Structure 1
């Protein structure tokens, strides 16, 4: 086993960085969706949702930076083109969405996909003793589970 400068197995960190790049691509699509929802939402709930979508895209933007910096910390290069993102992202693309229920459902579906990827990374980072990635994924999941619960409550649905 060959270790990198932060004491982690180089082969395992390459795999984790690849998975983090997948997460990065999905977060970039999610982020752009949130910007579009923020700009295009209409209706009686405009004021509340406009502010909420800004809060969510600001948070997503911070997470994008954290993910990219973690990839660099692991010694790899973060993806940085929309072409790369669109080729590997699984988060649904929301186009021309202005209706509140459709917007919230897109967010729930997107976060659900992000959590799925994060859980997979969490499992791998745990096995690699990569506490930095592990901690980040754990924090993301905890926040996003709460957001899904709140969005489902807004939709009058149960988890």
Structure 2
């Protein structure tokens, strides 16, 4: 059993880095969607949503950096091209969305996909005894679940 420089099994670390790269690709697509709806939102909710979408894409940009740095810490190489992002993301591209409900629904759908991936990584990082990745996923999940709840409340929908 070969350990890497942070004391984790080398193969498990590389496998976790692969999962994190998939998450990174999805986060990058989510980020681009947030930028698009921030720029293109129209209607009576413009001021509130424009500001909220900026808050979300700023936070997402920070998370993208954290994920990439974790991939590097585990010995992997983070994706860094649009080709990589599009080829490895399950999040739908939100193009030319201007309506408030459609924009908020895109966020809910995107977060659902991110949460699925994060929970998968959470289980794998727990099994690998990788507290760094585990803590990151736990923090992301907690924050995103709250965002989904808030967005669903805005849509007047149940969780």
Q: 1:9-28 counterparts in 2 under 5 A?
A: 9-28=9-28
**Structure 1 Cα separation of the partners of residues 85 and 70 of structure 2:** 17
**Structure 2 Cα separation of the partners of residues 13 and 71 of structure 1:** 9
**Structure 2 Cα separation of the partners of residues 127 and 32 of structure 1:** 32
CA RMSD of aligned residues (A): 0.3
TM-score (norm 1): 1.00
TM-score (norm 2): 1.00
Does 1:52 pair with 2:52? yes
Partner of 2:34: 34
**Structure 1 Cα separation of the partners of residues 74 and 60 of structure 2:** 21
**Structure 1 Cα separation of the partners of residues 98 and 39 of structure 2:** 9
Q: Deviations over 1:89-109 (max 9, x none)?
A: 001110000000000000000
Partner of 1:4: 4
Any idea what SS the aligned residue of 1:4 has?
coil
Q: Deviations over 1:71-93 (max 9, x none)?
A: 00001100000001100100111
Aligned length: 159
State the 1:20 CA deviation: 0.1
Partner of 2:77: 77
Partner of 2:88: 88
**Structure 2 Cα separation of the partners of residues 17 and 75 of structure 1:** 7
Structure 1 unaligned segments of length 5 or more: list them.
Answer: none
Partner of 1:113: 113
Deviating beyond 4 angstroms after TM superposition, the runs of 4 or more aligned structure 1 residues are: none
Q: Deviations over 1:6-43 (max 9, x none)?
A: 00000001110000000000000000000000000000
Partner of 2:145: 145
**Structure 2 Cα separation of the partners of residues 44 and 150 of structure 1:** 19
Does 1:129 pair with 2:104? no
**Structure 1 Cα separation of the partners of residues 13 and 6 of structure 2:** 10
Structure 2 unaligned segments of length 5 or more: list them.
Answer: none
